[in-house]
A = this chain, B = another copy of it.
Amino acid sequence: MATRGLAILPVEGLGEIGPGDVLAEALAAAAQPEPGLRDGDVVVVTSKVISKAEHRLVRLAPGGPDVRELVERESVRVLRRRGDLLIAETAHGFVCANAGVDVSNVDRGWAALLPLDADRSARRIRDGLRGLLAVEVAVVVSDTFGRPWRRGVTDVALGCAGIGPILDLRGSLDSFGRALQATEIALADELAAAADLVMGKASGIGAAVVRGVEAGWLRQGSIRAEVVRHPGEDLFR
């Protein structure tokens, strides 16, 4: 699976996305002329952009719920609680801070919820770009999660289309000819992390293109079906 190298390219000029915007159209326009979109590119889009387009913004109190109420509403299981911070499981099965409820990069007085079905959002963008530009791209929807044991946050994938989120190397041979064990590489998460390096939380770049991935990685895929770990096989839930 060696490749001759990847390029990670920001999609600048996406601009502010609002409720009902067609993301494939916005992305198609913003990606021209640079970096462009080519067959085999992976387009990484932040979930915040998806949430704005898909009416997942909620007006806060007064007149609506406060953040704490929203977090409780979005949580199906609370794993840890410290002060105002909850580590909670969402209906999708994601485990993250405040069940994904986030007030950064949205208008004051509003909060963003996670997309209802980020795999579906990714498929829509992929299909839209195929229709608009006649390109066959993969799409990854990313978000920024903390993790236990290590400081700092990294981007992971909440949804994908046109790419397998897990590359299963079990049974492949290592460089000594021995079968690799338990090596299922979380490709979509690594692509999300790579894309974050060119996005930047403060600069409002909501999408990036990863160019040069292996053709063998491109297949139907789903984060929810392949990456979310079932509670029964999870040692930390």
Contacts and interface: CB of A to CB of B under 8 A. Distances in A.
Interface of A: 1-10, 12, 16, 35, 79-80, 82, 87, 89, 94-95, 97, 103-108, 144, 147-156, 165-166, 169, 172-176, 178, 180-187, 189-191, 193-194, 196-205, 210, 213, 226-229, 234-237
B172 A202 contact: yes
Nearest to A3: B198
B5 A7 contact: yes
A141 B107 CA distance: 40
B197 A191 contact: yes
B198 A2 contact: yes
Given A2-B205, A104-B183, A201-B180, A190 B148 contact: no
A226 to B, nearest CB: 7
A164 to B, nearest CB: 10
Contacts of A94: 149
A202 B175 contact: yes
A205 B7 CA distance: 18
Contact of A235 (B1, B148, B202): B148
9 contacts: A5-B198, A8-B8, A80-B235, A104-B181, A148-B148, A148-B234, A148-B235, A149-B236, A152-B185
Query: Of residues A2, A35, A107, which shows the largest number of chain B Cβ atoms within 10 Å of its Cβ?
Result: A2
A200 B235 contact: no
A5 B174 contact: no
Nearest to A188: B152
Given A5-B35, A79-B235, 11 more contacts: A3-B197, A4-B10, A5-B10, A6-B8, A104-B180, A144-B183, A148-B236, A153-B183, A172-B202, A187-B197, A191-B197
A174 B202 contact: yes
B152 A186 contact: yes
A203 B149 CA distance: 30
